[in-house]
Structure 1
C-alpha cells in the first residue's frame, strides 16, 4: 500500500476543516527554523479564496517538549483572546490520522519580517509595546501548562565556547545566582526577535513562532530581545527598544544584567551553525563581546 503524500494529507485536512473547498496549491513558507510551515491556498466558491497555515514541529522541539503542539495552540488561543496580534488558532490535531505527529492549523497573516528596520524608531516602539502587552498576561493558573523559564543557567558544558567568553559568563552567573528580586511571572514569548515579527503597511501584523513560550520573569524575554535587536539593528535600536518597553511597564530592573548574561549564553557553542556569512558573524561576535562587558559591569555587588 502506498504511503499518503503531503498533498494527500493536506487534501484530507481541507475536507475536514472546510468541506466543499478545494486545495488549489500548497507552498512551504520560508523562515521556519524549528518547524515546517506550509500555506494551503483554498478555493471556496462564492466565499472566495482562503489561506490556512499548517505548522508541524520538528524532532528537536518534540524531544524537548512532547506537548509542544498542544502548548503552542493553547498559548495562541490565550494571546489571541487578549488581543495580541497572533495567527488565529484554528485546529490542533493529535489523532495521528492526518499526520504521524501532532500539528496545528492557524490563519494566514499577510506580512513579512523587516530585517532592515524600515520605519526606524516607529517600528522599534511598536515591537517594544507588543512585548509589554505580552508580558501583561500574568503567569497564573491559565498558563499552568507551560514550562517555567529556568532560573539558573543550567549545566555547565564539558567544552566551553571560549571565543564568546562562555566561561566568564557562566562564572559570573554562578556567583550572582538568580536575581534576589524577581518580577511577578508572566507569559514569555521565548524567542522575541525581528524574524518572528511580521509587518504589513508599517504596522506590526503578527508575532509568530510561540513554541518556546514559557512562564517567568519578563526580564528574561527582555534580555533576549535586547541581544537580538542589537545583532539585527545595532546599539541604538536595542537601547530604544529597552527605553520604550521600560516606559510602558512597572518592573524591578535590578536583575537586567543577570538576564542579559543569560541571553548571552544562547549563541555560545551555536553561533557558527547559524548560517551567517563571515562578515556578519565577525560583527555579531564583536557586538556580543560588548553586550557581555556591559552586563558584567552592571552586575550588582554581592
Structure 2
C-alpha cells in the first residue's frame, strides 16, 4: 500500500489533521498494518493504525463491530474509529483504530507474572456476555477438519484411528467468546499490564478450551514447561479445564499449525523449532488421551 493512499484515508477521516509519518508494522499473514502519526488542529499529536485486510466487507464490518463492543465494555482493545469496504482509497477493506503504545515481548525475567496475567485476560474474554456482541462463527468441534491436518505416516496411525472413531465431539456447554489467536504478539504490554489485545479477526463463539490450546502452543514455542503449567494453573483459577477435551484441542491446534506454517514466511530455523514443538504437543496430548505413539519427533 502506498503512502499517498493512506494519506487520502487520513484526510477523509481526520480532515483537520496533518499527516507527519507512515510506518508499516509487523503484522500477520492476513493483513497489512500501518501506523500513521498525526498532528491535530489543536496541536495535539495522535497515532492511528490502519489494518488493511483482503477479506469481505461483511467480515470487516463484523470485526469492527466486535472491537467497538469490547472497547465499550472495558476489554483492553484499541479504540476503533471506522471500517471501510468501499475500496475507494485503497484496494482492501480496512479498520482504522487508535494506536496503543507498548511492547509485545515478554522478557524471561517477567515471564511468570505476565503469563499469569495472560491467563486472567483470556478467562475474562470467555466471560464477556454474548448479548453485547455481534454474531460470530461457531468453533465447537476439535475434530472438524482434523484428519486433513494430522501428520502423515504410519507412526501417527493410532492417533488418526482414535480421532476417526470419536462421535459427538462438539462442545456441549454454553458457547463463549473466543479470541481465536491469543498469543504474546497479539498483546500490548505497558507498565506491567495488558494495555491492548489485538487481532480479533478469528473471533468466534465456542469451546473456551480451543483458545487455551492455542495459547499453550504459542507459549510452548517461547518458554519451557514450567511456564505452560503456570498458564494453565492461572486459567484454572477462573474456569475449569477438562484435560481430555483440552488434549483434543491441542491435537487440533498443533496439527493445523504444522500443516500451515510452511506458508507463514518463517526463517528456516524458526520453522524447524516450531514444527518440533507442535509435534511435541501432539504427542503429549495423545498420551493424555491414552494413545501411545511410536517413532521420533522428526517425522512430519
TM-score where L is the length of structure 1? 0.85
Conserved? CA contact 1:27–1:40, under 8 Å: yes
Q: Deviations over 1:227-248 (max 9, x none)?
A: 1111121211111111101111
- Whether 1:40 aligns to 2:17 is no
- Whether 1:248 aligns to 2:238 is yes
Structure 1 residues 287 and 268 mapped into 2: Cα distance closer, same or farther (>3 Å)? closer
Conserved? CA contact 1:178–1:258, under 8 Å: no
Structure 1 residues 41 and 229 mapped into 2: Cα distance closer, same or farther (>3 Å)? same
Cα separation, 1, equivalents of 2:218 and 2:58 = 27
Alignment match, 2:181: 191
- Whether 1:154 aligns to 2:145 is yes
Correspondent of 1:224 among 201, 214, 228: 214
Alignment match, 2:253: 263
Alignment match, 2:296: none
Alignment match, 2:298: none
- Whether 1:136 aligns to 2:132 is no
Structure 1 residues 280 and 25 mapped into 2: Cα distance closer, same or farther (>3 Å)? closer
Correspondent of 1:175 among 144, 165, 172: 165
Alignment match, 2:94: 103
- The two structures, once aligned, show a CA RMSD in angstroms of 2.8
Alignment match, 2:45: 49
Please report how far the alpha carbon of residue 165 of structure 1 lies from its aligned counterpart in structure 2 after TM superposition: 6.9
Q: How many residues align?
A: 290
Structure 1 residues 167 and 267 mapped into 2: Cα distance closer, same or farther (>3 Å)? farther
Cα separation, 2, equivalents of 1:163 and 1:20 = 62
Q: Deviations over 1:242-298 (max 9, x none)?
A: 110111124655521111111122223223444444544444344333322221122
Cα separation, 2, equivalents of 1:196 and 1:265 = 21
Cα separation, 1, equivalents of 2:251 and 2:186 = 22
Structure 1 residues 178 and 57 mapped into 2: Cα distance closer, same or farther (>3 Å)? farther
Q: Deviations over 1:67-107 (max 9, x none)?
A: 22112111111211221111111111123323333211000
User: Unaligned stretches of 5+ in structure 2?
Assistant: 292-300
Cα separation, 1, equivalents of 2:57 and 2:17 = 32
Cα separation, 1, equivalents of 2:153 and 2:226 = 25
Structure 1 residues 79 and 172 mapped into 2: Cα distance closer, same or farther (>3 Å)? farther
Alignment match, 1:76: 67
User: Unaligned stretches of 5+ in structure 1?
Assistant: none
Conserved? CA contact 1:22–1:42, under 8 Å: yes
Please report how far the alpha carbon of residue 169 of structure 1 lies from its aligned counterpart in structure 2 after TM superposition: 4.5
Conserved? CA contact 2:146–2:256, under 8 Å: no
Conserved? CA contact 1:172–1:296, under 8 Å: no
Alignment match, 2:6: 10
TM-score where L is the length of structure 2? 0.85
Residues 173-182 or 40-49, more deviating:
173-182
Alignment match, 1:121: 112
